[in-house]
Amino acid sequence: MIISAAVSPIWKEYGLSETQCFEELKNCGFNYIDYDFSPANEGEWASPHESGWAERTRGFFEKSGIAPAVAHVAGYNPLYDEPSVHKAVLGAGMLGIKNVVIPLGYAQNNTRREYESANLSYLERLLGTAQDADVTLLIEHSGSWTKPHYTHHAIELNHIMRKLGDPERLKTNLNVAHIGVAEIKPYTDICLLGKSIRSVDLADNFGGMPLAVDPEREELGFAPMMGYIDYDRVMQGFVDTGYDGCFNLRMNMPRVFDKQSPYHSESPLRIMPIEFTRRLHVWSRHIIETMLDAYQLA
């Protein structure tokens, strides 16, 4: 079973380059990574054919013994440059990444009908690019107790796939932290999605957190087993559906994200020493390995 890790924003707080972040994850025991094509990380991949970026990146992976297991690109957002998302999907294909996670996005104050229509249109346009890149797009729960227009449940993800004709290039990514924020039953949703799940994002949180200082940041991405998510039911769901894909650690670092936190700017506690972050990632990997062993998923 593949265990991969995303580059948490905390790594770049230490002034590390992208390749240095990958090397840190390798030193923490991760042989696979989640490649981030988000707008915040946009760089040479925005012109992958012209820049030689793909050749250099593939060469780095081969030399370092790291492999990209999955990629994330931006979801629907009317304020973001859509051609860049198409380039990101093509870039993933150039790196040999077969599964590309794309959140179902929203525009502020959308009705549910508008939300569905915008995302269906967006995915229809991207499926052609996915075909050209030989990748599969994975839509995911983007649940939030503060935004009722999000897709909270597996039944809504299945609805989206059916509306698009259940194309082979469109499957799902199970984001366990998003399930926690939406406060829904993980086992039921895993069973409803079944074989459409091609990758899993692992993190933990305290649910919807109605007392959060900033509702936009209610998804605190702790290590698995450190929050309220029922990971026994999560793991049992994977056993019962025969899941055999990638498990991807995607921790957020709330002190970095939460701009209203007293830790955001002046506090010397805002960023812990890098050795703390290294040990946190090693520890989180051991937690995942222990969960997989306990349910004979390793």
pLDDT at 257: 47
Give percent of the chain above pLDDT 90.
Answer: 49
The arithmetic mean of pLDDT across residues 215-234, rounded, is 80
**Average pLDDT value for the chain:** 84
pLDDT tens sequence across 79-109: 666 888 898 999 999 999 999 999 887 666 7
Q: How far is CA 214 from CA 128, 150, 176, 229, 270, in A?
A: 38, 18, 21, 21, 17
Q: Per the structure block, which two tokens stand in for 285?
A: 């990997």
pLDDT bin (cut points 50, 70, 90) of residue 45 is low
Residue with tokens 């992976």: 61
pLDDT at 260: 52
pLDDT bin (cut points 50, 70, 90) of residue 255 is low
In terms of residues, how long is the chain? 298
pLDDT at 188: 93
pLDDT at 46: 59
pLDDT at 181: 73
Q: How far is CA 91 from CA 50, 138, 228, in A?
A: 11, 16, 36
Domain spans of the chain, in order of start: 3-294
Residues forming beta bridges with residue 201, ordered by sequence position: 175, 248
Q: CA dihedral in degrees (274, 277, 283, 284; nearest 10)?
A: -150
The arithmetic mean of pLDDT across residues 248-258, rounded, is 69
pLDDT at 200: 97
The arithmetic mean of pLDDT across residues 123-147, rounded, is 86
* Minimum mean pLDDT range among 49-58, 72-81, 190-199, 261-270: 261-270
- pTM, two decimal places: 0.90
State which fold the 3-294 domain adopts: TIM Barrel (3.20.20)
pLDDT at 206: 77
pLDDT at 211: 47
Across the chain, the runs of DSSP E, i.e. the strands, are 3-6, 32-36, 67-72, 99-103, 136-140, 170-175, 197-202, 246-249
pLDDT at 147: 60
